[in-house]
Every structure is written in C-alpha cells, then in structure tokens.
Structure 1
Amino acid sequence: MFEGIFTSLITPFNNENKVDLFRLENLLSFLKEKVHGFFILGTYGSTALLNEVEKKQIIDKVVENKLNKPVIVHVGSSNPNTSLELAKYAQNKGVDAVAFVPPYFYNYQEEEVISYFQKIVKEITIPVFVYLNPPRVGYNLSVSCVEQLVRIGVYGIKDTTNNLNYFYDLCSTVDLEKFNYLNGSELYLNPTMLHGGKGAISAMSNAFPEYVVDVYNAIKNANMEDYKEKMNYLFAYRKIRKLGQGIPIIHAILNLNGINVGRPRFPFIYDENFLIKVKNALEGQKILKS
C-alpha cells in the first residue's frame, strides 16, 4: 500500500493568514490522479505553524475528498500526549497510517524514544511510521535504535536524514522487504529503491507530480536511459529550490502555473518581488513549466 510517490502536501493559507480549505481541495483535485499517495501535516504542510484545531480541519478535508489513495498523517509534536491524541483522531477518521517524529526540544535518550513508540504502537491500530528529521528534531536515531523500533511494531520510516551512508547501514541491518522505507527526498529514489526502498515522500511533487512519478517509474522499469533523462527535471527544480525556503517556492510555482494555493503562512516572505524571482528562474530552466 505504501509504495510510490507520496506528496508531502503543502497547506494553503488565505490573505488573512487562515487555513484555506477550499484551496486545499483544489490542490487535492490537481494531484489525486497524478501521485500514489499523500503525506499531510509534515514539514511542507507547515505543521509547526498550525494549531490542533487547524490540523483536524485539514485531516477532515483530506478524508472527505475520498482520494482512493493511501494517506499518511504526521502527528508528531514536542508533547507526546498531544501527538497521541491527534493520531487517535486521524485513525478514527479513517486515514491509512500515522507518522511521528521522535519527541523533540529535549535531547531524549534512545531508551526514552523506544518507550515512547512502545506506547504508541499499543494504542494505535493502523500502521505507525517513524519520521526521521534530524534538522527539525535536533537529533537522529541510531540504526540499532530503528532496529528495535521495528521489533516493537513500528511499521515503516520516512527518512529525511539525506545520508546515504545511514541508509546503507539501515538496509544492511533491517529487512526492507518487511519494513516500509520511504525516503524524504525524490533525489535519493534510485539508490534507495535499488536496495529495498518503496519510494519517496516528495515536496517537489506538489508542483511537478508527473516529473517525480516519471523518475520513480523509470527506476521501477529498470530503464536507466529514461531515468537519466527524467532526472534532469529534478535537477532543474533543485536550482530553483536554492532561491530560498521551499514552502514559499512551491506556493509560487503552483500559483504561477494556475493552481491557486494562496499564500504560505506568516512569517514566510511572499510578495511580488519573490514571485518575479521564481518566475524568472522557471523561465531560465526551460524544461520546467512556467
């Protein structure tokens, strides 16, 4: 079920800085036939800028759309009780899986992280993913810790370490045929899929879903010539991504291409000068839509 390209769905906001559920529905309509699934309330979903009521509204809207695609909801926060409560809410609404970053702010010991996930898998009946994101959480988990998480029933992983050495240690320790590995970046699809990875949770696929899925399909079909050609699109996007924060860039590309997703949430900078900068960069990368 959890295989392919999962869009790390952005959250649209209106000019009053409120979650825009109408624009969210439009974005889902644009994407739902193009990708294999959705990862919501993650980094690109502006999770750190949302309150619990807003998160539940977004879960409701996604579920209401009957996407017929698997939906993973990230529910992690610095408060384990809040995380678990949101996970139960998502589970009751009928999502397919939940993901938790390890509890952050305090630099927890791995024994404490394992205890935390033990509690989660006892209380949650749908698949549970661990979401590794060291830059946001403040620490990573060792491969041996992940191995213990597998033993206690954690179903899979979203790996945003961007560290292939870590991945190779992981895949030589954990059976990735049984442990659902999804990379946190479309750029690592080839090396991870060749060793048992199931796909990627992709931010780029908000704006360019076909390009990311084409790369995935080329790898699945073992067509390396096609893979190398399609990777040029990902490299072109990478150049645009260097303009600044990824969330405003995704908003700008979608809006410029006629998919109205409103604004990113304050305090992200999103003005006419920024839009012009992104537009010029798109036009400079001629293989991308502008």
Structure 2
Amino acid sequence: MSRPATLPVSAVLARSAKRFAGETPIGRKRRARKMARVLAETHPDAHCELDFETPLQLAVATILSAQCTDKKVNEVTPIVFKRYLSAADYAAADRMEMEAILRPTGFFRAKTDSLIKLGQALEERHEGVLPHTLDELVALPGIGRKTANVILGNAFDVPGITVDTHFRRLVNRFGWVHEEDPVKIEFLVAELIEKRDWTMFSHRIIFHGRRVCHAKKPACGACSLATMCPSYGLGPTEAAPAAKLLKGPRARELAIQVGLDPDLVPAAAIATPDVP
C-alpha cells in the first residue's frame, strides 16, 4: 500500500518540530536567505500586479485591492484614473458617482470615503503630492503599513516588506516566524532578508502563495522549496495531484523546475490566478 499523498496536519507539525528542533537563529537566517534565492529562480516574473503609472495611481489601486482581486482592480482603475487625475480631483469627487465606479471592487462606500479623504489630506498637508516616507504615508487616510510599503517599494524604489495574507501564511509555514501580527512579522522577516531585496522578495512570496503554496491545499510535491520547508506534507506530495494544483501562466514551467512532467498541469491552471 502506498503512503497517503497528504499527511494529517498534526503529523506534519510533529515532523516539522523534530526536523528543525535544533535550528539556531543564524541557521534560520541562512535557510531563509537560501529559500529567498530559490524563490528568485522560481518566480523570475514576480512583480506588482496592480497597473499604475504614478505614485498616486498606485496608492489608489492598492486601497481598492482590499478584499478584491488585482484582476478586478485592474479592470476598474482605467475608469478611475481617467476620471480622477489629481489629488484635488479625489478631494472634490461626487460621492455617489465614485461609489458607482468602485462598486465592482467591493466595500465601495468605505473605499470611496478613503479616496476622498486621501485627496483632501494630500491637498491640505502635501500640496497635492503623495509623500515618500513611511511615517507620512501611514498618516494618510486609507493607507496602513502594508499599503505604504507597496507604494514605497514600487513607486519610489524604497525597500519595503509587504505583509499580506499570502506573505503571513508562507513565512509561518516556512518556520521563519510564529506570529500573526503583520507589523511583528514585517520586523522579524526584515532581520532575515537583506534590505535591498525586501520589495522583490515580497513579490516573490506573494507569487508563490498564489501559484504554489495555496491556503487550503499547497502543491507540496511541486514546490521548489520542499527540501527546506518544515511544512512539507500539508498538501499533496505525489507528482500528479501536486502538479494539478499549480496555477498561473508559468504553471508548466514551475512543474519542469522541480522535475515534473508539465503535461500533468491542466490547461485551465495556466490562466492567471484570480486570488485576492
């Protein structure tokens, strides 16, 4: 009888504890940096998946991405960016008109309120220009640390760690942290990864979370990090079921990278993952 493709969570955690029981802080840092290098090879296409041309546009898109897929945001923002060109335009926006435009992104009333207040704050405090420091950004309506780090890293080339749901899930599974608070996770991971890599590392983690290390059933048997991950076994470890879980336009390339037959990846998986 072949062993089960998926181990019980309790068994995985028990094996994990034994496998990494003696890992020192320096050992964890070395493992983290090795995993980061492998992620760079695994996801050379990693990037910010929100479409934007200016820092203000990125701020708006990131606010709209809360509880919404990047794909849906990118469908709505061309209308938003054409209608509202500046902070003054957001500040003076007609609430009902903006709500109608933002409705497809969900929570459209709260998002409308955030964008109007953001425009007003930028006009009042920053002469209509989005600031480029963390402290100034997080003081603005609708912008928390996650959004601020997205803006800093992708619009201003200032390294930042973006702790979204994928990031939080993966670094806990990797055994780098045992923490749920995003701010604490940000600071703990900052000690493991070199600052110059923070922005791209965040993209790669998010790509991996969307394409390989899914929340409910990770593709453990098709993961390039398998030998370094204490959570290996949470998802299928055998080739066929694992390969079927890969997602995204490079799903078959991901399979090849770990020595799997790319034909095991179904055609439907090639579509860009529509995951918040």
What's the TM-score once normalised by structure 2's chain length? 0.32
**Greater strand share, 1 or 2?**
1
**Greater helix share, 1 or 2?**
2
What's the TM-score once normalised by structure 1's chain length? 0.31
Bigger Rg over Cα: 2
